Homo-oligomer: A and B are copies of this chain.
Amino acid sequence: MTTQAGTEGAFGGPPRGPDPRAARSRAAALAAAQELLVEQGWSAVTHVAVAARSGIGRTTLYRHWPDAASLIHDAIAQRMSVVRPEPTGELRGDLVRELDALRVLLHEPVSERGMRAVIERAAVDPAFTKLKEALYRAGSDGFRSILEGARKRGELVADLDIDLAIDQLAGPLMFRRLLAERTFSTEYVHAVVESFLRLYATQGSGR
């Protein structure tokens, strides 16, 4: 969904879709923008710098992205639109898969820098506020459907506070990667999920 938003941003028009040359130059520009984001942060992603690195003419860049914000937006959105794992109905496994998808995003250079950028920019730039809300919703909706399903099946306590539950699942990963600057493996994800189940799983869940 975020990727589509990005694509529309670049090619408003023809229903037959973008022509291949335009698609190639767009891909080259976004790759250069992503390199600059990882190396120096969002403020280094300018039309001048992206043109210099990608070899795409500045006029072409301005036609696709009228301002730097829309360019940075698409560079981040392209990488941060993840394929969400489909819930299987097996609570522990679903939580581990969902949380591990977040762990992967936090360890992939472009999406990790992208998250840092939206955390900073969303507070002051509407272009990023929308991206951040879309990313937050994409992430939290996955947990929400898993938790609501398990609560319906009686595997989680009936009075579960789902917003707090999501904070307690995703918060530790965000804190360890973005504040403590540490990397971690799926083992850490299992520890967080284990804590969560000890807090909220019912006997009915067979634990």
Contact = CB atoms under 8 A, between A and B. Distances in A.
A191 B163 CA distance: 12
Interface string A163-188: 11011101111111011110000001
A60 interface: no
SS class of chain A's interface: helix, strand, loop or mixed? Answer: helix
A195 interface: yes
A87 to B, nearest CB: 21
Task: Find the residue from A123, A136, A161, A171 having the highest chain B CB count within 10 A.
Answer: A171
A42 interface: yes
A83 interface: no
A199 interface: yes
A191 B124 CA distance: 30
B178 A168 contact: no
A33 B171 CA distance: 30
A167 B172 contact: yes
Interface of A: 39-43, 112-113, 116-117, 119-125, 132, 136, 140, 161, 163-164, 166-168, 170-176, 178-181, 188, 191-192, 195, 198-199
